[in-house]
């Protein structure tokens, strides 16, 4: 491990150089930066000892692929990460420039520091350390980095779907999640699925005067309210027929482990969320609500007059963005059918509703007894000197479902972010001790896998 | 009546000149036009034989006042109208320029043609005809014209509230409504009241990721949906406790009269409203629903992400514009209390709600046996050669409540617009036969009142 400890400042310089490239996938004017970041990652892969590395072109931003296959008979792991970042706005809330990495205390501040350049760099430097130290790797290694994770681009999915032989592997290693608490090694074994919809309601073909027609005219905003209330009751319990049928409750062992996680509900509610109190299904513990229960959530709504003052209009149309999170054995196709049928059934008289599905990803759950998960837990335990905890995440990482479906491999979610790393927000940061220990942990993981 | 018939082309020229002034109260750049229109109206009043006329200055656009008090012992009527108009946009939908009046068939097209310059000109020319024909008027006459009706300006209300002695009158004559059907003389005896609110809901103090927090985080958009659904059921029946307590059902005689009105529900629904079907309280006839029943209506809503694509955010706040229409003996203050209490009671856990009242106007209902109403009905019957019908309007004319409250006088709503006059829309028009017959009818009305 000496190599890792000796080269920390060099690793840091590589990370800084990566962070200085404003590879914002959402903004067209940063297309050249996207390419620079891809080229930078490719050069890093070659520098780390990959025998080959290249950009894979296609619809959208290039994928970066690299491989080292010098360990015949040993497992093959596929590292996944992304080199694109979120836009930095609101700019005026940043304490230092988002693309000029600045170290304050033990943290490095920059857009992408944690999500996901810092974690991609952990993967690369872990490999580099082993190569430099021993001239070879204990397992076969492949890298697949994408450049449109933040925009939901479909290049990587299209590529993986084509099942290219070069992606054959025994497990994927995804470093794009977080640790449950500082210094608490964490592996995420479950992700919720996500189906995202737009619900469009139309009433009359033009706005109507609420004095003249109020009492007889259909109101699309009210219709959306009625539809939303028909989908979920005031306790957060979903009313879509059949939606819970395939929901698998966590095993008692998992539930017990969650109950033992270090957790301050008041701090979580008030400081982290900035909320007054938690809501949701009564008698369902918090972690189960956010990790192991499906949701129906409205993300946005618009319709009618929302300017200053008063306008007595009955709007002609209204629109809402609504998603469902899926868990356990829920199936995407079935969930879409159930949701669409429930919306249509709840649509009141006088209006028409259209349900447009915008994206869909399946839930995933990996058995913690899987050998690749076990080795990861052992490696992290050794480096962090603490028992690794297994958690799930309420969010969705679509690539995990894609790897599962088309490559038939499990994903090991080894994350080194922290809950307060300000992902997608101003002053994104990465905790440097996690950066260095992450490199060691991933290196250790490959060693353990090679035994 | 000869004078009226002989001078139609002169009346038309006066109307055209009035319509050429773009007195748009909503747009600051038209302030000079507002003043020009006020001066024009003042000159018209003097030309019609008022012994004095003046602009009353105050906060907002000037009021135009004029009087002729040469009939001691006779009643005094107060004519009300407004010289300001709505903005003309969308401009490209006009077939002729909005401020270049054009006659096509029997209609004159221009912004303000019906609302309200045409009807103000009816009042002025009716008076002018009597003065020119007989050298005097059968009753005492006052005019009070405002210049901010379309923007809800408060100049006139502030002025009337001060109860200036010069506004003393026995009845107000408001020409700003419409006839139920072409050639069907109509008097509106009831108006719904209106209280307009903004409902603002806050959850967490920042937007939250729906994957991470969905299932535990309060959702302000959902909260507004829940509040709306608690206020009114899917049948349009209001659920606010006590809200119907003071609702007075129409008398059987009035109900019967409404049932006899010439009406084509299919045409009303599909052509006029552009809707598929009518909604609202079952077993309540249409005219009762829109004229004599209170409503809760949402006019607009906003919250969260409504851009293109998908963003998985739980919004921090949401806002809705909501109004209640009031009828019968409902009292504004009580209705506000009931509404506010119901919103607060319906507010779900985890969010806070603020109810801001933006404007309030009481309902009004005049007894059709009132002598001023009777005379108006008789005058219209004589001119249009058809029995006058009594209707109500679902809309609100705040000045009617103001006259009632501060001057203690009833308002006679003699309207000469038609349902297809495109008020507030492109190609506003006024039916010229109604313009000429309106002048005659108002003249006849003053004659009848003088007997």
Handedness of CA B369, B371, B373, B374 (dihedral sign): positive
Are residues A351 and A367 both part of a single domain? no
pLDDT of residue B1: 54
Contact A64, A156 (CB under 8 A): no
Q: List all residues of chain A from 73 to 102 with a beta carbon under 8 Å from chain B.
A: none
Nearest to A96 by CA among A326, A426, A440: A426
Instruction: Give residue-wise pLDDT tens across range A90-108.
Output: 888 899 999 999 999 999 9
pLDDT of residue B425: 85
SS3 assignment, position A421: coil
DSSP one-letter string for A73-95: TS-EEEEEEE--B----SGGG-S
Given an 8 Å threshold on Cβ–Cβ distance, is B219 in contact with A297? yes
Distance between CA atoms of B341 and B82, rounded to whole angstroms?
Answer: 37
User: Which of A217, A280, A395 is nearest residue B275 as measured by Cβ atoms?
Assistant: A217
User: Which of B226, B299, B351 is nearest residue A312 as measured by Cβ atoms?
Assistant: B299
**B308 Cβ under 8 Å from any chain A Cβ:** no
Contact A392, A402 (CB under 8 A): no
Of residues A381 and A150, the one with the higher pLDDT is A381
Residue B259 lies in a domain: no
On whether ipTM exceeds 0.85, the answer is yes
Instruction: Give residue-wise pLDDT tens across range B386-408.
Output: 999 999 999 988 899 899 999 99
Mean pLDDT for chain A? 95
Give the mean model confidence (pLDDT) for residues A159-178. Answer: 95
pLDDT of residue B419: 86
Residues of chain B positioned with their CB less than 8 A from the CB of A396: 211
* Residue B67 in tokens: 């009087």
Residue B157 lies in a domain: yes
**A393 Cβ under 8 Å from any chain B Cβ:** yes
Are residues A146 and A23 both part of a single domain? yes
Contact B220, B316 (CB under 8 A): yes
pLDDT of residue A273: 93
Distance between CA atoms of B336 and B257, rounded to whole angstroms?
Answer: 32
Residue among B154, B263, B275, B302 with most chain A CBs within 10 A, to mutate: B275
Q: List all residues of chain A from 93 to 152 with a beta carbon under 8 Å from chain B.
A: 152
Task: Check pLDDT > 60 for residue A301.
Answer: yes
Last residue of a domain, one of B361, B387, B413: B361
**HEC secondary structure over chain B:** CHHHHHCHHHHHHHHHHHHCCCCECCCHHHHHHHHHHHHHHHHHHHHCCCCEEEEECCCCCCEEEEEECCCCCCCEEEEEEECCECCCCCHHHCCCCCCCCEEECCEEECCCCCCCHHHHHHHHHHHHHHHHHHCCCCCEEEEEEECCHHHCCCHHHHHHHCCCHHHCCCEEEECCCECCECCECEEEEEECEEEEEEEEEECCCCCEEHHHHCCCCCCHHHHHHHHHHHHECCCCCECCCCCCCCCCCCCHHHHHHHHCCCCCHHHHHHHHCCCCCCCCCCCCCHHHHHHCCCEEEEEEEEEECCCCCCCCEECCEEEEEEEEEECCCCCHHHHHHHHHHHHHHHCCCCCEEEEEEEEEECCEECCCCCHHHHHHHHHHHHHHCCCCEEEEECCCCHHHHHHHHHHCCCEEEECCECCCCCCCCCCCEEEHHHHHHHHHHHHHHHHHHHC
pLDDT of residue B43: 98
By CA distance, what is B276's nearest residue in A?
Answer: A350
pLDDT of residue A351: 98
Distance between CA atoms of B183 and B416, rounded to whole angstroms?
Answer: 9
Instruction: Give residue-wise pLDDT tens across range A363-383.
Output: 999 988 999 999 999 999 999
The DSSP element (H or E) to which A313 belongs, if any, is strand A313-314
Q: Which CATH number fits the domain that encloses residue B427?
A: 3.40.630.10
Residue B256 lies in a domain: no
The set of residues, in sequence order, having a beta carbon less than 8 Å from that of B162 and lying 6+ positions away, is none
By CA distance, what is B199's nearest residue in A?
Answer: A306
Residue A47 backbone phi and psi in degrees, to 5: -65, -30
Give the mean model confidence (pLDDT) for residues B92-110. Answer: 96
Residues of chain A positioned with their CB less than 8 A from the CB of B299: 210, 221, 304-305, 310-315
Residue A286 lies in a domain: no
Query: Which residue has 């009845």 as its token pair?
Result: B171
Task: Check pLDDT > 80 for residue A223.
Answer: yes
Q: List all residues of chain A from 267 to 306 with a beta carbon under 8 Å from chain B.
A: 273-281, 286, 289-290, 293, 295, 297-306
Residues of chain A positioned with their CB less than 8 A from the CB of B196: 310, 312
**B214 Cβ under 8 Å from any chain A Cβ:** yes
Contact A421, A118 (CB under 8 A): no
Are residues A140 and A239 both part of a single domain? no
Last residue of a domain, one of B309, B328, B361: B361
pLDDT of residue B151: 84
Instruction: Give residue-wise pLDDT tens across range A382-427.
Output: 999 999 999 999 998 889 989 999 999 999 999 999 988 988 888 9
How many structural domains are present in chain A?
2
SS3 assignment, position A131: helix
**B263 Cβ under 8 Å from any chain A Cβ:** no
pLDDT of residue B232: 98
Could you report how far apart the first and last alpha carbons of chain A are, in Å? 17
Q: For residue A437, how many C-alpha atoms fall within 13 Å in the half-sphere facing its CB? A: 23
Nearest to A161 by CA among A38, A53, A24, A59: A59
Other beta carbons less than 10 A from residue A47's beta carbon: 14
Q: How confident is the model at residue A1 (pLDDT cuts 50, 70, 90)?
A: low
Are residues B40 and B139 both part of a single domain? yes
Are residues B175 and B234 both part of a single domain? no
Mean pLDDT for chain B? 95
pLDDT of residue A152: 79
Residues of chain B positioned with their CB less than 8 A from the CB of A316: 274
Q: List all residues of chain A from 176 to 195 with a beta carbon under 8 Å from chain B.
A: 192, 194
**A396 Cβ under 8 Å from any chain B Cβ:** yes
SS3 assignment, position A255: helix
Q: Which CATH number fits the domain that encloses residue A207?
A: 3.30.70.360
Contact A180, A186 (CB under 8 A): yes
Given an 8 Å threshold on Cβ–Cβ distance, is B290 in contact with A216? yes
Given an 8 Å threshold on Cβ–Cβ distance, is B226 in contact with A229? yes
pLDDT of residue A90: 83
Residue among B297, B309, B413 with most chain A CBs within 10 A, to mutate: B297
Are residues A94 and A208 both part of a single domain? no
Distance from CA of B447 to the nearest CA of A (A): 33
Given an 8 Å threshold on Cβ–Cβ distance, is B216 in contact with A395? no
Residues of chain B positioned with their CB less than 8 A from the CB of A312: 194, 196, 297, 299, 323
Distance between CA atoms of A304 and B323, rounded to whole angstroms?
Answer: 13
Q: Which domain holds residue B164?
A: 2-191+364-450
Residues of chain A positioned with their CB less than 8 A from the CB of B152: 309-310
Distance between CA atoms of B321 and B298, rounded to whole angstroms?
Answer: 6
Given an 8 Å threshold on Cβ–Cβ distance, is B310 in contact with A298? no
Q: List all residues of chain A from 26 to 45 with a beta carbon under 8 Å from chain B.
A: none
Are residues A222 and A369 both part of a single domain? no
Given an 8 Å threshold on Cβ–Cβ distance, is B300 in contact with A298? no
**A160 Cβ under 8 Å from any chain B Cβ:** no
Are residues A23 and A122 both part of a single domain? yes
Given an 8 Å threshold on Cβ–Cβ distance, is A310 in contact with B359? yes
Residues of chain A positioned with their CB less than 8 A from the CB of B232: 222
pLDDT of residue B328: 86
Instruction: Give residue-wise pLDDT tens across range B345-365.
Output: 999 999 999 999 998 989 999
SS3 assignment, position A151: helix
Residue B306 lies in a domain: yes
Size of interface A-B (CB pairs under 8 A): 263
Are residues A109 and A185 both part of a single domain? yes
Q: List all residues of chain A from 310 to 339 with a beta carbon under 8 Å from chain B.
A: 310-316, 318-321, 323, 325
User: Which of B216, B277, B318 is nearest residue A278 as measured by Cβ atoms?
Assistant: B216
Other beta carbons less than 10 A from residue A73's beta carbon: 5
By CA distance, what is A211's nearest residue in B?
Answer: B395
Distance from CA of B15 to the nearest CA of A (A): 27
Contact B85, B149 (CB under 8 A): no
Nearest to B379 by CA among B157, B227, B186: B186
Residues of chain B positioned with their CB less than 8 A from the CB of A205: 274-275
How many residues are present in chain B? 451
Query: Which residue has 């303000």 as its token pair?
Result: B112
Are residues A169 and A41 both part of a single domain? yes
* Residue A189 in tokens: 């074994």
The set of residues, in sequence order, having a beta carbon less than 8 Å from that of A36 and lying 6+ positions away, is A21, A23
Residue A277 lies in a domain: no
Distance between CA atoms of B314 and B209, rounded to whole angstroms?
Answer: 6
Task: Check pLDDT > 60 for residue A356.
Answer: yes
Task: Check pLDDT > 60 for residue B250.
Answer: yes
Q: Which stretch of A263-267, B32-36, B422-426 has the lowest confidence by average pLDDT?
A: B422-426
Given an 8 Å threshold on Cβ–Cβ distance, is A300 in contact with B311? yes
Are residues B198 and B346 both part of a single domain? yes
Query: Which residue has 């599962």 as its token pair?
Result: A404
Last residue of a domain, one of A310, A326, A361: A361
Give the mean model confidence (pLDDT) for residues A255-272. Answer: 94
Residues of chain B positioned with their CB less than 8 A from the CB of A286: 216
Distance from CA of A352 to the nearest CA of B (A): 9
**A391 Cβ under 8 Å from any chain B Cβ:** no
Distance from CA of B211 to the nearest CA of A (A): 4
Distance from CA of B267 to the nearest CA of A (A): 13
Give the mean model confidence (pLDDT) for residues A154-166. Answer: 94
Residue A81 lies in a domain: yes
Given an 8 Å threshold on Cβ–Cβ distance, is B290 in contact with A215? yes
Are residues B307 and B415 both part of a single domain? no
Residue A75 lies in a domain: yes
């Amino acid at each position: 491990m000496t190599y890792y400890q000796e080269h920390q400042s060099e690793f840091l310089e590589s990370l800084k150089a990566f962070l200085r490239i404003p590879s914002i996938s959402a903004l067209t004017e940063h297309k050249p930066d996207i390419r620079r970041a891809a080229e930078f990652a490719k050069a890093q892969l070659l520098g780390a000892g990959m025998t080959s590395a290249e950009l894979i072109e296609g619809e959208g931003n290039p994928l970066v692929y690299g491989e080292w296959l010098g360990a015949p008979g040993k497992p093959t792991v596929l590292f996944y990460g992304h080199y694109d970042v979120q836009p930095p706005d609101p700019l005026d809330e940043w304490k230092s420039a988002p693309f000029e990495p600045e170290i304050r205390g033990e943290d490095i501040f920059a857009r992408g520091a944690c999500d996901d350049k810092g974690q991609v760099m952990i993967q690369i430097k872990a490999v580099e350390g082993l190569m430099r130290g021993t001239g070879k790797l204990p397992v076969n290694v492949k890298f697949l980095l994408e450049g449109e994770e933040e925009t939901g681009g479909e290049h990587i999915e299209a590529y993986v779907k084509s099942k290219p032989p070069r992606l054959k592997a025994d497990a994927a290693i995804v470093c794009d999640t977080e640790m449950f608490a500082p210094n608490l090694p964490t592996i995420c074994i479950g992700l919720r699925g996500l189906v995202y919809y737009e619900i469009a309601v139309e009433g009359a073909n033009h706005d109507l005067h609420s004095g003249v027609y109020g009492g007889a005219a259909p109101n699309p905003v009210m219709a959306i309210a009625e539809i939303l209330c028909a989908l979920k009751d005031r306790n957060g319990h979903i009313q879509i027929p059949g939606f819970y049928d395939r929901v698998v409750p966590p095993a008692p062992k998992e539930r017990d482990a969650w109950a033992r996680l270090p957790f301050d509900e008041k701090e979580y509610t008030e400081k982290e969320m900035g909320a007054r109190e938690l809501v949701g299904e009564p008698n369902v513990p918090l972690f189960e609500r956010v990790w192991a229960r499906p949701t129906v959530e409205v993300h946005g709504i618009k319709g009618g007059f929302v300017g200053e003052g008063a306008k007595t209009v009955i709007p002609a149309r209204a629109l809402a963005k609504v998603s469902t999170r899926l868990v356990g054995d829920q199936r995407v196709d079935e969930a879409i059918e159930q949701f669409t049928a429930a919306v249509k059934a709840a649509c009141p008289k006088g209006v028409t509703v259209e349900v447009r599905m915008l994206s869909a990803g399946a839930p995933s759950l990996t058995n913690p007894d899987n050998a690749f998960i076990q080795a990861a837990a052992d490696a992290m335990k050794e480096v962090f000197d603490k028992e690794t905890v297994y958690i799930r995440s309420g969010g969705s990482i679509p690539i995990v479902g894609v790897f599962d479906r088309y490559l038939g491999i499990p994903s090991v979610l080894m994350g080194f972010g922290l809950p307060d790393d300000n992902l997608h927000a101003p002053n994104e940061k990465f905790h440097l001790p996690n950066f260095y220990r992450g490199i060691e942990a991933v290196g250790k993981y490959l060693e353990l896998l090679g035994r």
